Amino acid sequence: MNITLNGTKQETGAETLADLLTEMGYTDARVATAVNEDFVPAASRAEHRLNDGDRIEIVTPRQGG
Amino acid sequence: MPTYYDTEVASRLMLGTAQYPSPAILAEAFRRSGAGIATVSVRRESGGQRAGQAFWDLIRDLGVHVLPNTAGCHSVREAVTTAQMARELFGTTWIKLEVIGHADTLQPDPFGLVEAARILTDEGFKVFPYCTEDLVICERLVEAGCEVLMPWGAPIGTGLGLNNIYGLRTLRAHFPDLPLVVDAGLGVPSQAAHAMELGYDAVLLNTAVAKAGDPAAMAEGFARALEAGRMGYEADPMMPRDMAAPSTPVLGQAFS
């Protein structure tokens, strides 16, 4: 299916958000996630099924003011 | 020392973590200033660089309180979702809430700010709102559950100092027991001392330190100015007057 990941359109075979993180190599990474602008807690990623056209954000700690 | 939501912090300086020449200089700025709170953000993970983990390790080693922000958010929904992601990433309910209303001035959107503050407070967040010095907006933020207010001195990154002394003084008078923090717009230590002399509890800086020629020295300069200004405030300053008043005794002057 087609998704938009961090602003970039791409294809994925992942069925769930957890699968997508594994596919991207973020299994152990310190990241937080949102789908279609709604927060998805880490504990819910395995049950969160992806749909065609989903907009997914994967964020990490960064410098800030 | 200031207490935010029942947590006392042993410094009047909150320091941002962006724009430093290097991670080592960032760490040195924190060490020399004794800043008690570090502001951080959440941003998209890019590729396999894992920059987030390295940054997180650096911040954890500073041994300070972490205050994540919602910088760059222009809508309530963006800000709320960003806060929720930050809570999970950093393991804190503290959030520096920014809802930006104007791209040129980075002025907060007061309506969105109050709405987001209410939502996040209901979800258990401890909200530190980046706001203007508008008294009515600040009253609404307190009604929404905010137990600290962070009015700007001037727009973010300008270094213009305290643009509205009257407004800031009015806030202090109306909220005598609430922690008040000047957030944004400071450029040099004297401006931080002035904020202390107005009775403010702390200041939040980033650009003024990070973009100085010697960030660590500037951070220490701000820390000393905060101490000096606060000491002056607590010492009950004299009242200014228009007419001169001789300080040397007049009695006994020769030739009189």
pLDDT in tens, B169-199: 999 999 999 999 999 999 999 999 999 999 9
- Which member of A6, A32, A65 has the closest CB to residue B89? A32
Instruction: Report how far residue A60's alpha carbon sits from residue B48's, in angstroms, rounded to the nearest whole number.
Output: 12
For CA atoms B27, A63, B201, B178, give the dihedral sign. negative
CB-based contact (8 Å) between B81 and chain A?
yes
Dump pLDDT digits (tens) for B20-78.
Answer: 999 999 999 999 999 999 999 999 987 666 778 889 999 999 999 999 999 999 999 99
Q: How close, in Å, is residue A18 to chain B by CA atoms? A: 16
Flag whether residue A63 sits within 8 Å of chain B, measured between CB atoms. Answer: yes
pTM above 0.90, yes or no: yes
Cα torsion through A63, B2, B7, B10, rounded to 10: 70
**Confidence at residue B54, expressed as pLDDT on a 0 to 100 scale:** 87
B50 touches chain A (CB under 8 A): yes
DSSP state of B126: E
Higher pLDDT pick, B211 / B49:
B211
Q: Which residues of B touch A40 (CB under 8 A)?
A: none
**Using the beta-carbon criterion (under 8 Å), do A64 and B40 form an inter-chain contact?**
yes
Give residue-wise pLDDT tens across range B124-159: 999 999 999 999 999 999 999 999 999 999 999 999
The residue type of B84 is Q
CB-based contact, B17 to chain A, within 8 Å: yes
The first and second tokens of residue B34, run together, are 């004794």
DSSP B40-83: EEEEE--TT--HHHHHHHHHHHHTSEEEEB-TT--SHHHHHHHH
pLDDT of B3 > 90? The answer is: yes
* Residue B113 · residue B106 · CB < 8 Å: no
- What's the mean pLDDT when you consider all of chain B? 96
B85, B90, B123, B205: best to mutate for the A interface, most A CBs within 10 A = B85
